[in-house]
Amino acid sequence: MSSYLLEKLDEWRYRIPKSYKPGMLVDGIVYADEKLMQHIMQDKALEQVANTAFLPGIVGPALAMPDIHWGYGFPIGGVAATDIDKNGVISPGGVGFDINCGVRLLKTDLFYDDVKPRLEELVNALFSIIPAGVGSTGSIKVSGTEEKKLLLKGARWAVERGLGTADDLDCTEERGAMDGANPDAVSAHAYERGRAQPGTLGAGNHFLEVQVIDTVFDEPAARVLNLRKGQIVVMIHTGSRGFGHQICTDYIKIMLACLQKYAINVPDRQLACAPVLSKEAQDYLGAMRCAANYAWANRQILMHRTREGFEKIFKQGWESLGMTLIYDVAHNIAKVETHTCNGREVRLCVHRKGATRAFGPGHSEITERYRTIGQPVIIPGDMGRHSYLLTGTGQAMRETFGSTCHGAGRLQSRSQALRTVKPQKIIAELRQQGIIVRAVGRQTIAEEAPQAYKNVNDVVEVVHQAGISKKVCRMKPLGVIKG
């Protein structure tokens, strides 16, 4: 897409007019500044924004966050909402293969000076206790019957087995389990792939990081969250592993057949979809919710293992260490939500692919403890720079269906990074910055090198200035565990 086809609305927003392609039903809106737009235009992600505007039933603009980059069907960093009662569709490409890839942030009452002398020992302990990488399996293996219970209960399944508390559920999006999960809509192959992977960290951009809060932007919100400068937190980023990947694979095949069955015309077959009220879409939603619940159970188990690692090093119980969950958010998901469109309440299917829910203050779906400040929004960066905690806003509710960015966004493909980066050099450079890295494979370090990503500081500044989320604090990595 040429730059002259984009209309600059203000310093933080660009428009792709629906006249760009015959068949676009709505405009596209891209959140970016001029610097980020130069990066964004290096691949075909903007073309994918235009393509999502073809989806039957789409309302409002097709949205792109500043971390947008090329993905399957939808761009990663894309948001689209369809009107369920007006033949709106759901597309597996609008959720992605790693269903409910998401992030949780765990606080501690430890400060940097408490952890610095034992940092390497702590990172090594966590690396030994957290199963990570492609095909990794955990100590928790479930039978077929038990796996179905996990898919229905999500994080609560883990809590009921002593791997957390009810407070953890209160601070998890959807309380750690979406209603409407349907284990009967899941294939035998997906069950097989998921059976040995609860409590495991994926490869690629998935990680566990020990971080320190280095800047607080919003002191009142930070007080509500019980966070201060210098405090140690832990961020866990992973999803539904091979289980969710298989569900996406299975239903893409089914949705491809739906294009002809329901006479749906889209410019890219990767946008295969079906009306939300159709049997195929309802089956996909039931299976997708199973994968989302699997991911919440997975992150709950990993948080429990993290607490055990801290207990081992600091010789105190995790409660004494103040290791409570701040929040857990989903990044790749589709949800049935009610939003105000043109002055009326509308039931929508909101696709967030590489995007975070960012509901504003007062929303009933936010846990009561955070309702005055808005939903916590957790934005990880690369392993050499920063991550952020933000809150959702009323502006996001009016403009983006309560959505914001999800991370830094890639600049280089993994293959490009592998060709240009030496893992040992990255490890040494990070060590000089006081960041200790442990990874199952050296290839992952090259693929996930800081230079392979946009600067998360730039990405977060755009969503903050645009008003669709609000900065609370910034975290710097100290110890990184990769698959």
Q: Could you give phi then psi for residue 203, rounded to 5 degrees?
A: -95, -160
With 0-12 / 13-18 / 19 or more C-beta atoms within 10 angstroms meaning exposed / middle / buried, residue 85 is: exposed
Tell me whether strands 13-16 and 28-31 are parallel, antiparallel or unpaired: antiparallel
pLDDT of 85 above 90? yes
Contacts of 425 by beta carbon, 8 Å cutoff, 6+ apart: none
Which DSSP symbol is given to 370?
A: G
- Report pTM: 0.96
pLDDT tens-place string over residues 437-472: 998 877 888 888 888 888 999 999 999 999 999 999
Which DSSP symbol is given to 172?
A: B
Band (pLDDT 50/70/90 cuts) for residue 305 is very high
What whole-number percentage of the chain has pLDDT above 90?
85
Band (pLDDT 50/70/90 cuts) for residue 237 is very high
Higher per-residue pLDDT: 384 or 310: 310
For 3, other C-beta atoms within 10 Å of its C-beta total 11
Say what the pLDDT of residue 414 is: 79
Mean pLDDT of the chain: 94
Least confident of 149-163, 262-276, 328-342, 423-437: 423-437
189: annotated active-site residue: no
Domains of the chain: 3-482 (3.90.1860.10)
**Average confidence (pLDDT) over 54-67:** 97
Q: Is 220 helix (H, G, I), strand (E, B) or coil?
A: helix
pLDDT tens-place string over residues 172-193: 999 999 999 999 999 999 999 9
**Do residues 45 and 64 touch, judged by C-beta distance below 8 A?**
yes
pLDDT of 137 above 80? no
Of the residues 206, 245, 406, 464, which is catalytic?
406
pLDDT tens-place string over residues 179-236: 999 999 999 999 999 988 899 998 878 999 999 999 999 999 999 999 999 999 999 9
pLDDT of 134 above 80? no
pLDDT of 4 above 60? no
